[in-house]
A and B are shown apart, each in its own frame.
Chain A
Amino acid sequence: MRRRCLLPGMTVWLAAATPAEAFIAYVSNEKSNTVSVIDTDTWAVTKVIKVGQRPRGIEFSRDGKFVLVAVGDDDTIQVIDAATQQVVDTLPSGPDPELFVQDAAGKMLYVANENDNTVTVIDLETRARIGDVQVGVEPEGMAISPDGKILINTSETTNMAHFIDTATRQIVANVLVDARPRFAEFKRDGSELWVSSEIGGTVAVIDPATRRVIGKIAFDIPGMRREAIQPVGIGMTADGKTAFVALGPANRVAIVDGTSHQVMKYLLVGQRVWHMAFTPDEKYLLVTNGVSNDVSVIDVVAQKVIKSIQVGELPWGITIARP
């Protein structure tokens, strides 16, 4: 009698568990000077890697073999071998690197250097610095157009998104956005560029063809003071239909309709939510919560927070790939 009841239950459990592929998430902890490694199967921290001072921007290399982490106070980018989970190399990034982006082939790395108003270009194969582009004051957000032709950099005190031609490394357009632009993200089809403005409290939607702001997303949370709504990280699903925007000290992630640009829902996460990354199957979205020192796991389809995972102090950036 008991066995009979138990068996169907187990089958269901197994069926649900098998398709969930396990991925590995790397989280930079700005204050701890560490990177936490999370297994998305068990949602547990499996390793803590010691890195340089003030780790922030973090990305897998295109081939998935390495994790690059900008350690701003050491003026370099460290390279973590994903197989051994150890720091194996450094890149000549220029002073105070914060965020960076790679081209599609994984050959070029573009780094925002906050301290000297430049974007540094690094050849990933030779690991040499091959050029600089002068941009506005406090460069921060970095994105590359899906066709690889245009590099976007946002500058926090100049309040612009700079359009840089990747072939000539010249600025070809400057688009004014609201105060303190932090992050830039292209739709996968290249039809829109979204730029978050932390202090302005908005996300600008830019048409990459005309290089004009065509829409502005504002956030209004009942009972929340206006100044606390500070958009930073942006994540968009591959089909461009749904976007997630981290709202910093508002402790919420906004879910935005990618087509109508309307805010659909706010999800309560941890304190000072900052950056985010999808699992490669887009089932889950992981967001870093700086003040509560944890990562919230969002079920993308259900649009619900299902879990929070304690990491190091001031978790900042996150990147996820197959192990």
Chain B
Amino acid sequence: MIRVLAGAIGLGVLATSALAADPVEIGIGYLHRAGVKPALSLVELPFENDGVAGARLAIEDNNTTGKFLNQHFTLEEFRLKDGDDAAKMAVALADRNIGFIIADLPSEALLKVADAVRNRGTVLFNAGSIDDRLREEDCRANMIHTAPTRSMLADGLAQYLVWKQWKRWMLVVGSHEEDKLYAEALRRAATRFGAKIVQERVFEDTGGARRTDSGVTLIQRQMPVFTQQAPTYDVLVAADENEVFASYLPYRTWDPRPVAGSAGLVPKSWDAAQDQWGAVQMQNRFLKLNSRHMTALDMQAWTATRMIGEAASRTNSGNPRSALDFLKGPDFSIAAFKGQRLTLRDWNLQLRQPILLADGRIVVSVSPQEGFLHQISELDTLGVDRPETKCKLH
């Protein structure tokens, strides 16, 4: 009697587990460097989980959807210390059948990762680097970019300044390599949209602490002097990606002029103040999960993770190769609270996206601006367009 009963229970369990098949597991690796970059403003010091926090929220969103499709997403975070080999880590992930990697890494490391897993079918998402060269001469067929490029950011800013009729720019450039690249993108933008750079100045990084107890007194004397005797200009545009001087410029220029670029009105992919197009829901979800505001890097990682989720639900599979085919194809688009669908530029796998212009407290405007037209997509007025691209995807 007891035996019969036990047998029946066993059968029951079997039947139940056969009905609810194991979900398809979709693993995502997240690679970024340990430590945080310095910032001039105490309130803008990045958090340790900058970026990965956005990916975590998207994993929750993907899993809410996944429970209806029997798909389950997981995220594994890797913080790389100096000397750690990102490419080796990527290969190790591929060995464990983790076919998606989201990376917030410098360009050189990214390229090594892309090449190391090229034949493994891994899809790599660049969520952090804004270097144009990754989408141009150094583009890769297995690397999708959710971060905007420097040229997209510069174009987004330039369109607004030109719309505002602030066409005479004084350009102040830092002495780091990234500053020179940003300045180059700003010069290109000025030429494209009809602004004029009336003068350029270089602000040398002579080293030293970004924060001292008597800092303000000195800066208050230094900045007006640095910006005096300029030709007539409408707006000061600063290229300072390493947080050396730009944040010191607003309210301290010799002539009373607005500041844009690396301080003042800043072009970016996302801002904690963005509240249009349903964004409040997203900001609330992020705040609830992470107890802080959402940054541009968080958004770029969220979008990458959501793209993986979107590909999985549309292809009904966790296979990275079919995901990449879908993402590159004509049917892909993603909603990311920016008022319109985001799609991929099929010639270099860059995500098309509007650029927000924020002053630190509010979103002032969103580019592309009205009147900047394009025959395919107005989003392609931002950044390097198909006819100019140097990218050849293999």
Residue ranges of A at the interface with B (Cβ–Cβ < 8 Å): 96, 114-115, 117, 136-138, 155-160, 162, 171, 174, 176, 178-180, 198-201, 225-228, 230, 249
Contact = CB atoms under 8 A, between A and B. Distances in A.
A179 B69 CA distance: 16
Given A136-B68, A157-B335, 16 more contacts: A114-B278, A115-B284, A136-B64, A137-B61, A138-B278, A155-B65, A157-B306, A158-B64, A160-B68, A174-B68, A179-B341, A199-B334, A200-B341, A201-B341, A227-B377, A227-B378
Given A137-B65, A156-B278, A199-B340, A179 B335 contact: yes
Contacts of A198: 335
Contacts, number: 66
B65 A158 contact: yes
B68 A227 contact: no
Interface in B275-302: 278, 281, 284-285
Contacts of B68: 136, 158, 160, 162, 171, 174
Contacts of A249: 339
Given A225-B377, A227-B378, A200 B333 contact: yes
Contacts of A156: 278, 335
B14 to A, nearest CB: 24
A157 B286 CA distance: 14
7 contacts: A115-B285, A136-B65, A156-B335, A176-B313, A179-B334, A179-B335, A200-B341
Contact of A137 (B64, B333, B341, B379): B64
B211 interface: no
B281 A96 contact: yes
Given A114-B281, A179-B335, A227 B340 contact: yes
A219 B114 CA distance: 39
Nearest to B334: A179
Nearest to A114: B281
Contacts of A199: 333-335, 340-341
A256 to B, nearest CB: 21
Contact of A138 (B281, B314, B339, B379): B281
A158 B284 CA distance: 17
A176 B312 CA distance: 12
Nearest to B61: A137
A160 B65 contact: yes
Contacts of A201: 341
Contacts of A225: 374, 377-378
Contacts of B313: 159, 176
B320 to A, nearest CB: 20
A158 B61 CA distance: 7
A215 B339 CA distance: 25
Nearest to A230: B340
Contacts of A227: 340-341, 377-379
A249 B378 CA distance: 14
Nearest to B66: A158
Interface in B355-394: 374, 377-379
Contacts of B379: 227
B234 to A, nearest CB: 29
A138 B306 CA distance: 14
Interface in B27-83: 61, 64-65, 68-69
A246 B339 CA distance: 16
A97 to B, nearest CB: 12
Nearest to A198: B335
Contacts of A180: 335
A259 B356 CA distance: 42
Contacts of B64: 117, 136-137, 158
- The 9 A-B residue pairs with the shortest CB-CB distance, nearest first, are A227-B340, A199-B335, A158-B65, A174-B68, A180-B335, A199-B341, A179-B335, A137-B61, A137-B64
Contacts of A228: 340
Nearest to B373: A225
Given A199-B340, A225-B378, A179 B333 contact: yes
Interface string B301-313: 0000010001001
A174 B69 contact: yes
A197 B49 CA distance: 33
A261 B340 CA distance: 24
Nearest to A200: B333
Contacts of A176: 313-314
A180 B284 CA distance: 18
Contact of B65 (A96, A114, A159, A179): A159
Nearest to B63: A137
A307 to B, nearest CB: 27
